[in-house]
A and B are shown apart, each in its own frame.
Chain A
Amino acid sequence: MSTVVLLLITGVGLGAIYFLVASGLSLIYGLMGVLNFAHGVFLTFGAFLGWEVAARMGATTWAGFAASLLVGALAGAVFAALTERFLVQRLYERHIEQVLITVGLALAVVALFDGIWGTDARFISGPPWMSRTTTIAGANVPNDRFVAIVLAVVVLVAIVLFLQRTRYGMIIRAGVENRSMVTALGIDVRTAFTLIFTIGGAAAGLGGVLASHAFGYVSPMLGQTLLIFAFIVTVIGGLGSLTGAAIASVLVAVLQQFANYYWGYGDFAVVVLLAVVVLTRPSGLMGKKVTA
């Protein structure tokens, strides 16, 4: 029983990190039709800058941890906004080129990170409470998972409120459905593109800091590893669907945890799930619309 509870909660914690990466990916694809291969480097950049700031302020202090989250999100947001504005937007409506440039950027930036921070993993420490455990139904759950879950829920709620309550949110929801009709109403969707990249980048940067605590390290490849699962989550959830991304994140991560523990092939189980969903529901669990 305690094992099941442990796997379940750590699975949801991992799902929270997947969601932080996948939410931006899904919205970017839904609105712009761009599979953003650079999303992983937003995450890695956030994780590294967060780590640098925490190290300077005192990695084991709460202030240092809070600052690392803030800086991580900010770093991801700025990097993403610049990527959209200066690379992706230049190739407006040329989807193949847009995807290729994100692939190229990802390769180049990972090499740059290698140069700056080295290829070896940097081990992360946070406030001592984070690495302790809390016992729930006999299971000793690492506390950092709770932090990840709470923050992912906060991000989910914030994005939903943004999409539902603001004019830009409305433009994004409409644009995911039918972008050309949005432009035909006189709206310059490029602003919405930059915005969605920025929001996605912030979530990914935050996810980077949390991932580095959950895994205990940060390395130049951290984002690339997570990106693969985030893509799978995005496809299973339905490209463009935020709710779909949330549900699929948890589904994939929990499945992965259980399959890893009982069977040893968690990643394979995820690929099987992907195949099943793609074959039976090609548009994913929640189809192509923002149902937030």
Chain B
Amino acid sequence: MTSSPPSRDAATVGAGPTARPTAPVLLVRDLQAHVAGQQVVEHVDLQVAPTGVTALLGRNGVGKTSTIKAVMGLIGRSGTIELDGEDISTLPTFRIAGRGVGYVPEDREVFSGLTVTENLRLAERRGSEHRYDLVYELFPELEQRGAQAAGTLSGGQQQMVSLARALLNDNRVLLIDEPTKGLAPRLVTEVAEALARAAEVAPVLLVEQNLQVVRDLARHVVVLTDGRSVHHGDASDFLDDPVATQRLLGVHGGTDPAGAA
């Protein structure tokens, strides 16, 4: 149950003799996953760098969300999943989270019948520091609206609750699925700033359709098509390659954020 005491200096952390300063915090190899008997992830390899943001990209329905859910143990999966060199591919979800995997799901999934404060208190993990100062600094609205039922918040505010739940604890890695989906431009900026701060605290695997946000935040990209990872590399190299972005994402690189609906 106890997670190893996380350190902010990710480069020196890493359990086991194989840990190297550049070793990925999360390593996924030959991942397969299925939902309702249907295979939704065929073969995904990916690594989350020990610092900064790694973006997981791909067109709609290629399996980005399923990949993240498979890592969290929320759907049936097989293959290698290592956190700091330790196998987590057979652990139940609550133990994966307990080892320091923060999860911000695609549809926010705040508990609508609970207040904002209760949503945050529920997220407090034992054995972890609880960074209310950081959370309320990033999202002062959450402090003001503490007593409000989360179900009555706007979509943007719910996204803040969802991000705050993950940022509250010391995590080894954050899995964040489309945090800017459906948000007004001003809120996209606000969330992007919060993500930049989050990435200072823990490495992030980010699914994001807004390529301008990807360009601003991500250092590495992994691209999926049809349940397979088909491209790994440097984020700006990829985004600057109009042929690759057109082929794999169906849009021109980050120069055209409007194409990233």
Question: Does A185 lie within 8 Å of B97, measured CB to CB?
Answer: yes
Question: Does A185 lie within 8 Å of B122, measured CB to CB?
Answer: yes
Check: A188 CB closer than 8 A to any chain B CB: yes
Question: Does B114 lie within 8 Å of A173, measured CB to CB?
Answer: yes
Count of chain A residues with Cβ under 8 Å from any Cβ of B? 20
Question: Does B122 lie within 8 Å of A174, measured CB to CB?
Answer: yes
Question: Does A181 lie within 8 Å of B92, measured CB to CB?
Answer: no
Where chain A touches its partner, the secondary structure class is: helix
> Which of chain A's residues have a CB closer than 8 A to the CB of B121?
167, 170
Check: B182 CB closer than 8 A to any chain A CB: no
Complex CA gap A291/B111 in Å reads 12
Complex CA gap A290/B93 in Å reads 24
Question: Does B125 lie within 8 Å of A177, measured CB to CB?
Answer: no
Complex CA gap A180/B123 in Å reads 13
Question: Does B97 lie within 8 Å of A173, measured CB to CB?
Answer: no
The smallest C-beta distance from B153 to any residue of chain A, in angstroms, reads 15
Check: A189 CB closer than 8 A to any chain B CB: yes
Check: B259 CB closer than 8 A to any chain A CB: no
Question: Does A189 lie within 8 Å of B114, measured CB to CB?
Answer: no
> Which of chain B's residues have a CB closer than 8 A to the CB of A188?
92, 94
Q: Which among B97, B103, B122 has the highest number of chain A CB atoms within 10 Å?
A: B122
Identify B122's interface contact among A180, A187, A290, CB under 8 A. A187
Check: B63 CB closer than 8 A to any chain A CB: no
Question: Does A186 lie within 8 Å of B109, measured CB to CB?
Answer: no
Check: A178 CB closer than 8 A to any chain B CB: yes
Contact A174 to B94, CB < 8 A, known contacts A185-B122, A185-B165: no
> Which of chain B's residues have a CB closer than 8 A to the CB of A171?
122
Check: B98 CB closer than 8 A to any chain A CB: yes
The smallest C-beta distance from B137 to any residue of chain A, in angstroms, reads 21
Check: A183 CB closer than 8 A to any chain B CB: yes
Question: Does A186 lie within 8 Å of B97, measured CB to CB?
Answer: yes
Residue of B nearest to A171 (CB): B122
- Given A174-B118, A184-B72, 15 further pairs, Cβ under 8 A: A173-B114, A174-B114, A181-B109, A183-B94, A184-B93, A184-B94, A184-B105, A185-B94, A185-B123, A185-B125, A186-B94, A186-B98, A186-B125, A290-B113, A291-B113
Contact A170 to B114, CB < 8 A, known contacts A180-B74, A183-B92, A184-B97: yes
Identify B103's interface contact among A167, A184, A189, A290, CB under 8 A. A184
The smallest C-beta distance from B252 to any residue of chain A, in angstroms, reads 35
Question: Does A177 lie within 8 Å of B112, measured CB to CB?
Answer: yes
Question: Does B113 lie within 8 Å of A173, measured CB to CB?
Answer: yes
Which residues does B use to contact A, with CB under 8 Å?
A: 72, 74, 92-94, 97-98, 103, 105, 109, 111-114, 118, 121-123, 125, 165, 169
Check: A182 CB closer than 8 A to any chain B CB: yes
Question: Does B111 lie within 8 Å of A180, measured CB to CB?
Answer: no
Using an 8 Å CB-CB cutoff, how does the interface string of A164-207 with B read, 1 for contact, 0 for none?
00010011011001101111111111000000000000000000
The smallest C-beta distance from B49 to any residue of chain A, in angstroms, reads 23
Complex CA gap A47/B105 in Å reads 46
Complex CA gap A170/B74 in Å reads 21
Complex CA gap A185/B114 in Å reads 15
Check: A289 CB closer than 8 A to any chain B CB: yes
> Which of chain B's residues have a CB closer than 8 A to the CB of A178?
109, 111
The smallest C-beta distance from A80 to any residue of chain B, in angstroms, reads 23
> Which of chain A's residues have a CB closer than 8 A to the CB of B111?
173-174, 177-178, 181
The 6 closest A-B pairs by CB, nearest first: A186-B97, A183-B93, A174-B111, A186-B98, A181-B109, A183-B94
> Which of chain A's residues have a CB closer than 8 A to the CB of B92?
183, 188
Complex CA gap A171/B72 in Å reads 19
Complex CA gap A184/B108 in Å reads 12
- A243-292 with Cβ < 8 A to chain B: 289-291
Q: Which among A173, A184, A189 has the highest number of chain B CB atoms within 10 Å?
A: A184
Contact A180 to B93, CB < 8 A, known contacts A185-B125, A187-B122: yes
Question: Does A289 lie within 8 Å of B113, measured CB to CB?
Answer: yes
Question: Does B122 lie within 8 Å of A182, measured CB to CB?
Answer: yes
Question: Does A183 lie within 8 Å of B97, measured CB to CB?
Answer: yes
The smallest C-beta distance from A160 to any residue of chain B, in angstroms, reads 13
Question: Does A177 lie within 8 Å of B118, measured CB to CB?
Answer: no
